[in-house]
Structures are given as C-alpha cells and as structure tokens.
Amino acid sequence: MADTIQVKQAEQSCSAGLQYAQKHISSSPKDAILCCEGMCLKGETARRAANLIAHRLVPDKAVRICHGGLLEKAGGMKELVTRANRVLILEGCGMACATRIAKGAVPGLEPEVVLTSKFFQYDPGVFGVDEVPDEQINIEARKVAGEVVEKYFR
C-alpha cells in the first residue's frame, strides 16, 4: 500500500464558492480558516466552530475556506489561502485530515493547527453525530470557537 495518494485537481468549479472567494479577495487579506470536515462528532464540532468563527464571531478578520475549492484548478479558495495573513486549521482529531489536504493542495503551506478535541468533553466511545443531542454539539462548538477567538483574534 502506498504512503501517499495523488488527487487530480477538478476541472469544474463551484460558482457559489468562486463568488464567495471573489468577494473576500477584493477586500484586505484575512486569516483563512479551514477545518476538519469529518462526518464524526469531533469533525462536526470542529466544522461548526470554524463556521462560527468566520461567519459570526470575527467575520472582519477571518474567511472560511472550502476543501473542495482548494482542489479546483481555477478556484479562488487557493488565492484566499495564499494571500491570508495566517492559515488556521481546526482539526477534530489527530488524523489531521484538513492539514494534509491543505498542504497537498497548497505546497509550502505552514498553517497553525488547533486540535479542537482538547476543548470539549465527549465520551471517547461516541463517534456519530446522532449519538449526542444537537444542542450539545452546538455548546461544544461554541466553546471551541470561543477558545480559538480568544487565543488567535484578541
């Protein structure tokens, strides 16, 4: 089994993602926020925290980045990342999938990585988002977002 994989850049692009990127490219550079997009509880918590940070808590300082946009040949997400003041990646677990994807898509990238699971308390045996009430996930995501904003944006 190979230690690496090769991912082909997409010929197609997401028009809504391109519009979003263009809107942010036309303003001053911000911090780029990527995150774990895992389907598990830890990934969902990281994803919600990243969205809170970029869209609600510090939208004037942070822009949310889509993994898919990083894999587009003509995507604006790469430009947002390369011109960002800082690239911050919220990882739900130690597998660091978002970091590996981002570094593969943007060679030479040196992001700051936050392991979000150190901020929340879930039963370690719980995996699915259907195993915890939605409001509990929101509570934990708000905790993570608050910690990240306090450390990186204040």
pLDDT tens-digit readout, 12-60 = 999 999 999 999 999 999 999 999 988 999 999 999 999 999 999 999 9
What percent of the chain has pLDDT above 90? 84
Q: What residues are paired with 112 via a beta bridge? A: 88
Assigned token pair, 74? 């003509």
CA–CA distances in Å: residue 48 to residues 33, 56, 83: 12, 11, 24
Cα 73 to the chain's mean position, in Å?
20
Cα-based angle 110, 115, 116 (whole degrees, multiple of 5)? 130
Does 54 reside within a domain?
yes
Number of domains comprising the chain: 1
Does 32 reside within a domain?
yes
Asked if residues 91 and 102 have their Cβ atoms less than 8 Å apart, the reply is no
What percent of the chain has pLDDT above 70? 100
Does 7 reside within a domain?
no
Helix segments in 9-152, DSSP class H: 15-25, 41-52, 67-70, 76-82, 97-105, 134-152
Does 6 reside within a domain?
no
Is pLDDT above 90 for 2? no
Range of the domain at 134: 15-152
Does 10 reside within a domain?
no
List, for residues 53-77, the tens digit of each pLDDT value. 999 999 999 999 999 999 998 779 9
Q: What is the residue type of 59? A: P
The CATH number linked to 123 is 3.40.50
